[in-house]
Structure 1
Amino acid sequence: MPAKRRAPETRTRRTAKGAGSRPPSTPGRPVRLHKVLADAGFGSRRYCEDLIASGQVKVNGRTVEEFPCLVNPGHDRITVAGKPVTLPDQQVYVMFFKPRHTMTTMYDPGGRRTVADLVRHPSGARLFPVGRLDYDTSGLILLTNDGRLANTLAHPRYGIEKTYRAVVGGLLTDEDAERIQQGLYLAVRRYGQTRGAARTSPARIKIVRRERGQSSAAPRSQPTGRAGRPVDPLEPELRGEVGKGDRSRPGPRTVLDITLTEGRNREVRRLLAQVNCRVKKLLRIRIGPIELKGLRAGQWRDLTAREVQALRRAVSEGERRAAQTRKTRSEQLPEGAQ
């Protein structure tokens, strides 16, 4: 019998409690089952909860039927679809330039191309993507078997910044850019149903360039390349992804960078649609301190030791911020409500 799911409100509340201060799974210490599965490289904690709920996970030969489930990784025998679960001996961190029309999953029942088809690490480690990118969005994806780091990077509670480069039709005005930066109301959908609207967190927008069409010239205040376009230090890495195919449809457009700390479904496209700007191309170029450099679409590489250290520092800072936010909110509650 599949595990009984907790009500969405209860799950969100209990997951949030103390999330930033939990130590990694260690033998001899009881921990939640979905955390052990995430640390073993099965996916995000949310995905691992779904995996447990599907009835595929057993502990000591018995199917898990209730949440939460505490296990001892050093003593309990855990299996997924009949295969034993083991914690990784080596943590692996990979930067991947996801092409368009690629699923950010390890398997697709529809047979579409996935990141697993393009990233085959020689260590044989079970890697999973950190967060998601839409099927028609390209750019930076991190893959790892470090469940704790992946959870912190992906969860909006920790405020890890993600930067996207967008090409939109039309000229985005400074006023509309400011509206997006202050936050707009977007519909909230959960479990296939609309549950009202919520305001987005503040964003940052940097206009890379505005193009008025074939007759437009680059602004004199910017250095230009051979074609008269502003020199962009990211252009070599982004060539073939941003701007490709647009020449057949000349007209005004805006190239911009937008930085978010959330990860709502298609958030960048929906924000820009609110100000009547249709996204033509979208590319993620940064996650926290990690920038997309030196790769072409479909290529990947291991993060350097310095990049891993920077990523861990960003994760630690995010966890400290989240813990401080929880403490502040708790102190603001009326006496007796805590």
Structure 2
Amino acid sequence: MSTERNSSRGRQGSNKSASRRTNNSQGSFKKRPSKFEKKAPAKPVKTDADGIRLNKYISNSGVCSRREADVLIAAGSAMVNGKVITEMGYKVQLTDEVRFDGALINPETKRYVLLNKPKNYITTMDDERGRKTVMELVHMATKERIYPVGRLDRNTTGLLLFTNDGELAKKLTHPKHNVRKLYHASLDRKFAVKDLQTLSEGEFMVEGKKVFIDDVAYVEGASKSEVGIEIHSGRNRIVRKIFDTLGYKVVKLDRVIFAGMTKKNIQRGHWRHLTEQEVSNLKMI
């Protein structure tokens, strides 16, 4: 009896093992990968070192969209290292000289940063004397290298634009484009009505040269020593020199409007990026 029971148990165990093998053969068992099996090679990561498609290069330079660039490339508007390129998909290196309609272009993303400048910062990239510069205030604004458009002297506060868009910077600093710059000047004494009328005539001589004054008025709600003056001249310290010529000392000077932009929501010493609409407005000047 004992032998038969043991034999029966053996047959049952054998049947169970066979059943497990059968189930495994039907897909329930997942094969573990061998450590000796070769892995599929990783796909190479594409970088700008492999070259940039010409249409992307043109688009990144701010000229137009990629789709528009394709049309203009086919029309022969693009040159790489002095050779006209009409091939779709042509790749360029960052070291190549790329021209579009004869003008040298750069694929770097264009940045536009507006700063509300405080006192005691000079408008320069660096200073040999170790004085504080405006670049210290905007160094976290963007990874691209940006530059101040025009200047504000050390003691003048207010709006200062930074960008790496060279064409726009030239436009905004050239007097012929009449870029509006409005200053709030605080004088050491009341500004006489006759002097206000003199500046209101529009032309004024400073150091033997004409300065065109677009508008001048007392600041509403303030004392007669507070004057708003609008000019488009880019001459150094020109507002201070205008009042100095009339015998007044400028105690405080603040640029409150530049090219239609105001200091709204920008605290002193802080900055913000321009909106797309603001950039479009500047390019339409």
TM over 0.5: yes
One-letter amino acid of the structure 2 residue matched with residue 164 of structure 1? Y
Distance 1:87 1:184 in 2: 41
Deviation at residue 173 of structure 1 after TM alignment: 2.2
1:151 counterpart SS class: helix
Q: Does 2:205 correspond to 1:185?
A: yes
Relative to structure 1, is the Cα distance of residues 160 and 86 closer, same or farther in structure 2, using a 3 angstrom cutoff? closer
Asked whether the equivalents of residues 181 and 259 of structure 2 are also in contact (C-alpha less than 8 Å), the reply is yes
Distance in 1, Cα, partners of 2:211 & 2:177:
15
User: 1 or 2 for the larger relative contact order (CA 8 Å, sep ≥6)?
Assistant: 1
Aligned to 2:51: none
**C-alpha distance in 2 between matches for 1:30 and 1:113:** 41
Q: Is 1:98 aligned to residue 117 of structure 2?
A: yes
* 1:305 aligned onto 2:276: yes
SS at match of 1:203: strand
Deviations 1:1-60 (A, max 9, x none): xxxxxxxxxxxxxxxxxxxxxx97x962899xxxxxxxxxxxxxxxxxxxxxxxxxxxx9
Structure 2 contact 81–98 (Cα < 8 Å) conserved: no
2:280 partner amino acid? Q
Does residue 161 of the first structure (1) align with residue 180 of the second (2)? yes
Deviation of 1:86 after TM superposition, in Å, equals 8.8
In structure 1, stretches of 5+ residues that fail to align are: 1-22, 32-59, 61-71, 76-84, 188-196, 210-229, 233-251, 316-338
Paired residues, number: 194
Q: By how many angstroms is 1:74 displaced?
A: 2.3
CA contact (8 A) 1:163 1:258 kept: yes
Query: CA separation of 1:116/1:88 partners in 2, compared to 1, >3 Å: closer, same or farther?
Result: farther
Q: Distance in 2 between matches of 1:184 and 1:110?
A: 35
Q: Which amino acid aligns with 1:305?
A: E
Residue 270 (1) aligns with residue 241 (2): yes
Instruction: Find out whether 1:174 has 2:185 as its counterpart.
Output: no
Pairwise CA distance, 1:305: 1.8
Distance 2:194 2:133 in 1: 39
Compared CA separation, residues 86 and 160, structure 1 to 2 (3 A): closer
Secondary structure, in 3 states, of the residue corresponding to 1:272? helix
Larger Rg: 2
Q: Detail structure 1 runs of 4+ shifted over 4 Å in the superposition.
A: none
Distance 1:122 1:286 in 2: 21
**1:1-338 maps to which residues of 2 (within 5 A)?**
28=79, 73-74=97-98, 87-182=106-201, 183-187=203-207, 197-209=208-220, 230=221, 254-313=225-284, 315=285
Give the unaligned 5+ runs of structure 2: 1-61, 64-76, 83-94
Counterpart Cα distance in 2 of 1:203 and 1:29: 45
Distance 1:260 1:30, change over 3 A: farther
Cα deviation digits, residues 227-278 of structure 1 (max 9, x gap): xxx4x8xxxxxxxxxxxxxxxxxxx751121100111121111111222221
1:288 positional shift: 1.4
Structure 1 residues 123 and 272, CA gap change in structure 2 (3 angstroms):
closer
Report the TM-score, using the length of structure 1 for normalisation: 0.52
Provide the rounded CA distance (Å) in 2 between the counterparts of 1:106 and 1:88.
23
Separation in 1, partners of 2:251, 2:283: 34
